[in-house]
Amino acid sequence: MRIVEVGPRDGLQNETATVPTAAKIAFVDALSQSGVAEIEVSAFVSPRWVPQLSDASEVFQGITRYNGVLYSALVPNRKGLDRAFAAEVDKVSVFTAASETFNQKNINTSIAGALQRFRPITAAAGEAGLPVRGYVSTAFWCAFEGKIAPRAVVRVVEQLMDIGIAEVAISDTIGKATPDEVRRLLDLLIPRMAADRIAVHFHDTYGRGVENMLAAWPYGIRTVDASAGGLGGCPYAPGASGNVATGDVVAALEAHGVNTGVNRRQLDRALEHLAPYRTDDRRKLPPDGSPLC
Ligand code: HMG
Ligand code: MG
């Protein structure tokens, strides 16, 4: 299994305390020595929208690049792509959703508008030799629209692939999916496209991230996102809590005889760099009356 460590981006975008740039750099450098295949280092998004990651360029400048590790970042538009080029990223990720409401709240445009925006970004990244990932958020549930139909997700995945995106990450933004729902989506998706172009990105609000990842395994999916210590969430998805913890994913895979090459102690060492700044809300339930309950 290829493990994509998203803690420095998905985790730190959601921290209320300000994490100093030096601590982020130390976190990424320690993660680089853990054996993960890829690290999503930060996001070149608007600092008005996500102030927590406004130092993305400085973080990229400060980290040490290790052989065999891919250093990626989110880009929502051309401005983000230019900043990513300047930072010499290895890979960029665009992001949209299967739900119109979440898409508007997160990137201020419709799904069609996002795809239109991504077409020239994907072409320019491709010309520069960078692989492009596309996220499909709210692939199971949306905090605003409720249950999302699998066919709506398949449509967005196909549209992303049609514009030349190499890898699509099916994302359970609010961590509400069940293994049955994962199977229902993959039953529809996998006959239409190669499993090696699909990654899974589970948040762990209800503690089902590991089960959901294991449900994707028989479909041939071999890329999984996780965050050290289960850091994470999305500031524009009320109630979304952290990603499935990298250590939990590694432990579950190893229990099934799958060697990940990831050292769990090193993940813990990496987290120590963030200890003074963390507000630990992992597995905290959404507030009463929230659409998630
Ligand atoms: P907008 O307000 O429509 O854009 O936002 P705009 O073009 O009008 O720009 C507004 C201001 O931001 C301007 O500054 C721009 O220059 C600036 P001003 O002139 O007002 O001072 N700006 C930028 N600055 C730096 N870098 C940029 C950039 N773009 C604009 N790239 C926009 C549209 C897409 C920019 C905004 O909505 C945005 O940045 N959204 C990002 C939200 C976000 O990061 N959400 C979390 C990540 S997604 C996620 O967590 C889900 C995921 O984990 C999967 C899952 O779990 O589901 C991936
Ligand atoms: Mg996420």
Write the pLDDT tens digit of every residue in 114-140. 999 999 999 999 999 999 999 999 999
46 CB within 6 A, ligand 1: yes
pLDDT given for residue 279 in this prediction: 65
Per DSSP, 204 falls in state -
HEC string of 155-203? HHHHHHHHCCCCEEEEEECCCCCCHHHHHHHHHHHCCCCCHHHEEEEEE
Query: What is the spatial distance between Cα 37 and Cα 267, in angstroms, rounded to a whole number?
Result: 13
pLDDT given for residue 66 in this prediction: 98
The backbone torsions φ and ψ at residue 181, rounded to the nearest 5 degrees and listed phi first, read -70, -35
**How far, in Å, from the CA of 46 to the mean position of ligand 1?**
4
**How far, in Å, from the CA of 195 to the mean position of ligand 2?**
20
Please provide the DSSP assignment of 89-136 as one string.
-SEEEEEEESSHHHHHHHHSS-HHHHHHHHHHHHHHHHHTT--EEEEE
Token pair recorded at residue 169? 């990450």
pTM of the predicted protein model: 0.95
**How far, in Å, from the CA of 141 to the mean position of ligand 1?**
22
pLDDT given for residue 29 in this prediction: 98
The backbone torsions φ and ψ at residue 161, rounded to the nearest 5 degrees and listed phi first, read -70, -35
- Show pLDDT as tens, one digit a residue, over the chain (293 residues): 999 999 999 999 988 888 999 999 999 999 999 999 999 999 999 999 999 999 999 999 999 999 999 999 999 999 999 999 999 999 999 999 999 999 999 999 999 999 999 999 999 999 999 999 999 999 999 999 999 999 999 999 999 999 999 999 999 999 999 999 999 999 999 999 999 999 999 999 999 999 999 999 999 999 999 999 999 777 787 777 899 999 999 999 999 999 999 999 999 999 999 988 876 545 444 455 554 43
pLDDT given for residue 293 in this prediction: 31
pLDDT given for residue 15 in this prediction: 82
pLDDT given for residue 164 in this prediction: 96
The backbone torsions φ and ψ at residue 155, rounded to the nearest 5 degrees and listed phi first, read -60, -45
Token pair recorded at residue 215? 């449900």
Gap between the terminal Cα atoms of the chain: 32
Query: What is the spatial distance between Cα 236 and Cα 42, in angstroms, rounded to a whole number?
Result: 17
For the purposes of burial, counting CB atoms within 10 Å of the CB of 147, is it exposed (0-12), middle (13-18) or buried (19 or more)?
A: exposed
Strand partners, 40: 72
44 CB within 6 A, ligand 1: yes
Write the pLDDT tens digit of every residue in 174-202. 999 999 999 999 999 999 999 999 999 99
42 CB within 6 A, ligand 1: no
pLDDT given for residue 289 in this prediction: 53
Taking CA 211 as the corner, what is the angle to CA 289 and CA 161, rounded to the nearest 5 degrees?
90
**Which residue's alpha carbon is at the smallest distance from atom 25 of ligand 1?**
46
Residue 234 is a catalytic residue = yes
pLDDT given for residue 9 in this prediction: 97
93 CB within 6 A, ligand 1: no
Can you tell me which atom of ligand 1 is nearest the CA of 80?
A: 31
Contacts of 232 (CB under 8 A, 6+ apart): 6, 7, 10, 11, 13, 14, 203, 240, 241, 242, 243
Per DSSP, 54 falls in state T
Write the pLDDT tens digit of every residue in 78-89. 999 999 999 999
243 CB within 6 A, ligand 1: no
Angle between helices 246-255 and 209-216 (to 10 degrees): 50
Contacts of 107 (CB under 8 A, 6+ apart): 76, 95, 96, 114
Of residues 3, 234, 244, 250, which has the active-site annotation?
A: 234
